Structure 1
Amino acid sequence: MSSLIVINPNSSQAVTDGIDAAMEPLRRLGTPIRCLTLAEGPPGIESQRQADLTIAPMLALAAAQGDAAGYVIACFSDPGLHALRDQTTLPVLGIQEASVMTALTLGQRFGVIAILPASIPRHLRAFGAMGVLDRLAGDRALGLGVADLEDADKSLAAMIATGKRLRDEDGADVLIMGCAGMARYRAPLENATGLPVIEPSQAAASMALSHIHLSLSHRKQTAPHA
């Protein structure tokens, strides 16, 4: 049976394991979900340069999956999203794009919990391209790198404090966790803030599964006839 392929473009198996655990509720829908780690990726993607350097090996890894029914790119920078859509007619979802679209259905103004301050300009470029800046309440950084997210006590405390600031100071009524490495913290963050919290890999995978079951996908662009 064909599988939804979820690719973590960094080389951290711990991040992939967290994404895999977040997929469990979606496995009840019947489509197998396989989570892969890009061995050639950096330990964490924390800059545009790092994100861009993962694109070529990520495309090769995707092409090697003969049982794919669709793909999710599980990095909040959505590296290679449009390149992979050029490579295949199967559904391809990026977790940043999917999480924002999901947020727009759950609240009026969304807040993003970023890992580092340097992540925020990258996010804002993407939100501007999507035309959703007027729905963005705020984008606040934890000041933690991807590897630091393994420290559960420190990470959760910082995420709760940041989520409350987005809620109370910025007016967010829905929160997006801005890194796939945050997957395990969704439930306690929801409990602490009282807001809906979107785990981006779940958002993208659920959208990809609906596309698979409904036979929906982008179409590769073809050159116009002369």
Structure 2
Amino acid sequence: MIRVVVADDQALVRGSFSLLINTAADLTVVGQAATGAEAIAVTHEQRPDVVLMDIRMPVLDGIEATRHITADPATAATRVLILTTFDIDDYVYAALRAGASGFLLKDIRPADLLEAVRVVAAGESLLAPTTTRRLIEAFVRRPAEPAPVPLPGLTDRERDVLRLVGEGLANQEIAARLHISLSTTKTHIGRLLTKAAARDRAQLVIAAYRSGLVGP
């Protein structure tokens, strides 16, 4: 069972998302929050697998709440899925830095929302939606970002895998492209997460761009 916290300052949105999530046999809502501060408190209390986090909330916004959740060892295992009404929003770039694992627009189809929660809970990032991919690409290409810095200690095969992760390929696609097994691909991904000090696949995509393996 995947345990979820829904954080949004609008009661109707919280209620609607919670009702939808609870219709899935493998998902359950264990808490709700109307502010970023409440989201942190509920996450500490319930230790959910995923937090659906709105960006703009009172008291403490979703970005700061995400930063607290991902930086605290007690809640670092919780994945944060950002909810936004904006297709391109400067706040989203800050959310990436804060450790968010993915992004959704609030007009997402119900079935896609449920699948997104499952994907993030499994440690993947939401790279399939064009909005998320474009946000990540824009984030790593911003002028304020530092020059590419190669990741030390990677094997040639790990560089190949990281480049394909940065291009948005799924594990099955990477395995087929490199003519290796799916289990070998997953092993490489695990090692890359460790070597890049990345929380999840979204952070690996950023690492791929920052290291210069994937260019603008």
Which structure has more RCO (C-alpha within 8 Å, separation ≥ 6)?
1
TM-score (norm 1): 0.38
